[in-house]
Chain A
Amino acid sequence: MIAHRRLSRPIPLFKAAFGSPGHAAVSLALAGLVAVAVPPLLNWLLFDATWVGTADDCHGRSGACWAFVGAKLQFVLLGLYPQGDAWRAYAVDGLLLALAAASTVPRLWSRGLLAAWIGGLLASIWLLGGGLGLPQITSDKWGGLPVTLLLSFGSFLLSFPLAIALALARRSRMGGLRIYAVAFIEVVRGVPFIAVLYAATLLFPLMLPSGAAIDKFARAAAALSIFVAAYFAEIIRAGLQGVPHGQYEAASALGLTYWQALRLIVLPQALRAVIPSIVNLAIGIFQDTTLVAIIGMFDLLNAARTAASADQAWLGFYAESYVFAALVYFVFCFSASRYSLWLERHLRPA
């Protein structure tokens, strides 16, 4: 597909838009639509917007109230997290984003990076939750961006070994193992994420002995990991299938055991081939985390919504709040998607 795009020369804009009567009609219709929709939108977003001031200043104008986002920024970004300890949440943001940034450099992909991720996630949980010298903050108080990041990255990392195991099991010649893997993958892929989330938060506690309780955040993270693992496993399976059979044979001819061959020969090639799909999946996870609002957790989106309905001085600025949250999600997802395109080109064998 990429090769095809490289070969074909781009068509000049004017010719593309007005090359034929059909093209011209469509172009004019779209231009009309833009002319109708965009000016009011820009007025609302920019020209009539209130950038600083109070809620009353905003009510006096017809545009968006960005002063609201300014005033409630900390709540949107941190949710219920105690203000005095805000630095801990920001540190988690910084730590996880730095790790994510480091992971974009293929040269740094190593066992060390994996260890850094595991250490980084544990440190994040410690920073957010406290203990070992920091005051304890229970997970029902966690919120905003740290929750979104921790859920996305944490469940991605947790699901990775599970997904490899599932993918291998599904390709295994041991019938029992294969059936279990197929059943797991198909059941999880056959139900919506909300159902898995409900099962984890509502059904699971009923199975525990009374009195025993597992943290809601942990249950949500586990649900997300299980859900992601099923999709992840299918991506990895596709990668495994792409590895030529000769590679397996060559590995065993060299006297490598099954596990050695897998670790040194097969998996590196298989994973490399599916990296773009994995990045797509990661974007999907990032957006799926917003569903935890259903079980009463304050991820970034829910914190943004709550910011507009909690403070009596700033009631009802939902549109501004959602636009801001959308912007944050867009920045993350768009960067990830551009990165995935770059990576695709970068990793293509020369």
Chain B
Amino acid sequence: MSISTKFVSTLATAGLALTIGAFSAVSASAGPTLDAIQQRGFIKVGVGGSSPGFSFPDASGKWQGFFVDFGRALAVTVFNNPDKVEFTSSSPQQRLPALQAGEFDILLSGVTQTITRAFKLGFHFGPVIFYDGQGILVNKSLGVAKAVELDGATIGAQSGTTGELNIADFFRKTGKAYKPVVIEDSNEFQKAIESGRVDALTQDASDLAIIRTQLAKPDDYVVLPERLSKEPLVPAVRGGDDRWLEIVDWTVYATIQAEEFGITQKNVDEFLTSEDPAIKRFLGVDTSLGEAIGLDPKFAYNIIKAVGNYGEIFDRSIGPSTKVGFQRGYNDLWTRGGLIYSPPFR
């Protein structure tokens, strides 16, 4: 062995040792976020200032809404107590820097998952909990149930937005005709559809839901289930705590899987006696799964008991029976043609 090869191999060994050292250092201190949560005794959740149905303080100042319920579900997973969570309002301008700065452990505030945010900003994202996107609001008298059935309709879009371009793309693709009406001011939207100047309006679905509540007869209008643009809303966490991210993921999945099983807040106790091995594993009747992953075997049971399954969370805050009145659409279970899907609990 010549000196130079010996030198190189020593160098390589040292490099390897350093690398392993670095890795073990990371795994030893893995979970700074979760450690901090456990030490503190509650989870800090950032939510939007107030978006109707999604997160808003109720009359007594308590936070409610679709995103808020997922925050409570997380508190159940970690502490088995839906109240061990503190919600902090944050504006769209500062929510991501605030997450970075450690103001909260998780951001549940309508963050759209994009590739830039993942690569450049060092955030990790949980599963999509709401598929938002550009929608179409129509007068029910048109008798249209799907956007593809719109033919020759007059459609209002706000000028200078991507909404205007997306709707043009959509009709180019479907090959149907439509008449665009450009509306300058978003306040004019309401008047345009009420006066019949347009048959339909297009905007982000969550905006349309609010415009709809503003109309004199909201029940005469409906937001069609299609989305012309992709706005997948996800929980966001800081990078560097894989265990915390897993807890976020599987807390969301638990609500989804429960709906797939047909388990609701009301009937969850009846399922405890189920003979289905998958349900036994899921609810922690069979404790082997929980032991293997180091969580309370009954964490899914506790979540459903405290906040309900995905469908219940959806319906309670933003579903068709609420003022916001969203159809499930893409946010329906995959078994019913939607995109909401949970990996298996095994």
The chain A residues found within 8 Å of chain B, CB to CB, are: 59-60, 75, 79-83, 138, 140-141, 143, 198, 201-203, 205-206, 210-211, 216, 293-298, 302, 305-306, 309-313, 315-316
Contact = CB atoms under 8 A, between A and B. Distances in A.
Interface stretch (B45-53, B72-80, B301-309): B45-53
Given A306-B50, A315-B214, A202 B57 contact: no
Contacts of A60: 216
Contacts of B125: none
9 contacts: A202-B94, A211-B39, A295-B91, A296-B91, A296-B98, A306-B57, A312-B213, A312-B322, A316-B213
Interface stretch (B58-66, B224-232, B248-256): B58-66
A203 B36 CA distance: 19
A83 B60 CA distance: 6
Contacts of B195: none
Interface of B: 32, 36, 39, 49-53, 56-61, 86, 88-91, 93-94, 97-98, 100-103, 210, 213-216, 322-324
B216 A59 contact: yes
B97 to A, nearest CB: 5
B215 A82 contact: no
Contacts of B49: 293, 296, 302, 305-306
Contact of A79 (B61, B97, B98, B324): B61
A205 B102 contact: yes
A315 B89 contact: no
Contacts of A210: 32, 36, 102
Nearest to A307: B50
Contacts of A143: 61
Contacts of B60: 82-83
Contact of B214 (A206, A293, A316): A316
Given A205-B102, A211-B36, A296-B94, A312 B52 contact: yes
B216 A202 contact: no
A143 B90 CA distance: 14
A207 to B, nearest CB: 10
Nearest to B103: A205
Contacts of A297: 89
Contacts of A82: 60-61
A296 B61 contact: no
Contacts of A315: 52, 210, 213-214, 323
B50 A309 contact: yes
A295 to B, nearest CB: 6
